[in-house]
Amino acid sequence: MINFRYGRATDVVDAVRQIAADPTAKFIAGGTNLIDLMKEDIERPSRLIDITRLPLKSVEATPDGGLRIGALVPNSDLAYHPLVAQRYPMLASAILAGASAQLRNMASTGGNLLQRTRCSYFYDTATPCNKREPGSGCSAIAGLNRGHAILGTSEACIATHPSDMCVVLAALDATVHVAGPMGARAIGMVDFHRLPENTPQRDTNLEPNEIVTAVELPARGFAANWTYLKIRDRLSYAFALVSVAAALELEGDTIKEARLALGGVAHKPWRDPSAEAVLRGQSAERATFARTTDLLLRDARGSGHNAFKIDLARRAIVRALTQAAAGTPQSQSNKKIR
């Protein structure tokens, strides 16, 4: 591990001033990802700016019926917050499907957005990796790529984004609030993370001199018909092979509004408005779900070991929509779906 300096930020303006003054510095929140990356010699910040004492720890209802979540709200507090449990149960479910209780106690909302890929070659400094060292090559494309992406890949990188929380934030149309030297701005969650293209070293559209201050949820929480289905190698403490956030608003058996986002399959939470449009106005039945799934996965491609994910995703999407329609999240549907 290399030597680094450490200091605290006193407020958001001070945090932005400090990061803007030193391009080799990094913010540290819960430290559950950054410290591991430093120990593995992947991140080498010359200075850590501790942001844990900034006043970004509250969850507040917004005047338009939404929710504003401070960037330092721990994942556990967010999942168990009464307003989240009541109005956004899909978000609570996704957070609780991730990591372990101890990690969720430390992990922050902002840090969860900015956690880095779990591609094993990214962690292995003896192997080429375009994300870690641009231009060096991608070891995963012809290597062991069972956990890798099937959608939105490039010739430079086939890594996935590992977060569960972000998949639901994308489905709910959340907004990420950030602050930088030029002031504050808002980034739609679906535009926050990037596809790898030829710059896989950039995971997000956050500028290096900006800080995430909050995540805002719109009023629509889909609290009645939703599921977050996470398929993984073990039942807990494992990243998603495929995950599905499915949310519906129903009038009788007819779908009025639909949201569908996938995790574990791309460099960012995967959402396709055209696949959601197929659901609107249709009856909530397996044939409709299958049509949507075909559209959502039309460009899916395997790279060898991960080809099984295409069929896995297909089954998971239909199952998730079936559970959401029946109002039986993450469980066997007990309502008859034609």
* Residue of 193, 141, 189, 197 whose CA lies nearest to 168: 189
* Interface residue with ligand SF4, options 26, 81, 87, 131 (CB under 6 A): 131
Least separation, in Å, of the C-beta of 168 and ligand SF4?
24
Helix axes of 308-326 and 286-296: crossing angle, nearest 10 degrees: 140
According to DSSP, the β-strands at 47-50 and 25-28 are parallel
Least separation, in Å, of the C-beta of 209 and ligand SF4?
24
d(Cα 271, Cα 210) in Å, to the nearest integer? 25
* Residue of 263, 140, 281 whose CA lies nearest to 193: 263
CB closer to ligand SF4 out of 15 and 113: 113
Least separation, in Å, of the C-beta of 49 and ligand SF4?
26
* Interface residue with ligand FAD, options 239, 245, 271, 300 (CB under 6 A): 239
Taking CB under 6 A as the binding criterion, the range among 60-68, 138-146, 218-226, 317-325 that sits at the site for ligand SF4 is 138-146
165 binds ligand FAD (CB under 6 A): yes
Please enumerate in sequence order all residues whose Cβ is within 8 A of that of 70, keeping only pairs 6 or more positions apart, or say none. Answer: 55, 56, 57, 58, 59, 109, 213, 214
265 binds ligand FAD (CB under 6 A): no
Q: What residue has token string 């599905």?
A: 244
265 binds ligand SF4 (CB under 6 A): no
145 binds ligand FAD (CB under 6 A): no
110 binds ligand FAD (CB under 6 A): yes
Taking CB under 6 A as the binding criterion, the range among 82-90, 103-111, 121-129, 277-285 that sits at the site for ligand FAD is 103-111
Q: What is the DSSP string of 256-324?
A: EEEEEEEESSSSS-EE-HHHHHHHTTSBSSHHHHHHHHHHHTTT----STTTHHHHHHHHHHHHHHHHH
Contacts of ligand FAD in 29-88 (CB under 6 A): 29-34, 36, 51, 71
139 binds ligand SF4 (CB under 6 A): yes
* Interface positions with ligand SF4 (CB under 6 A): 117, 119, 121-122, 129-131, 138-140, 157-159, 200
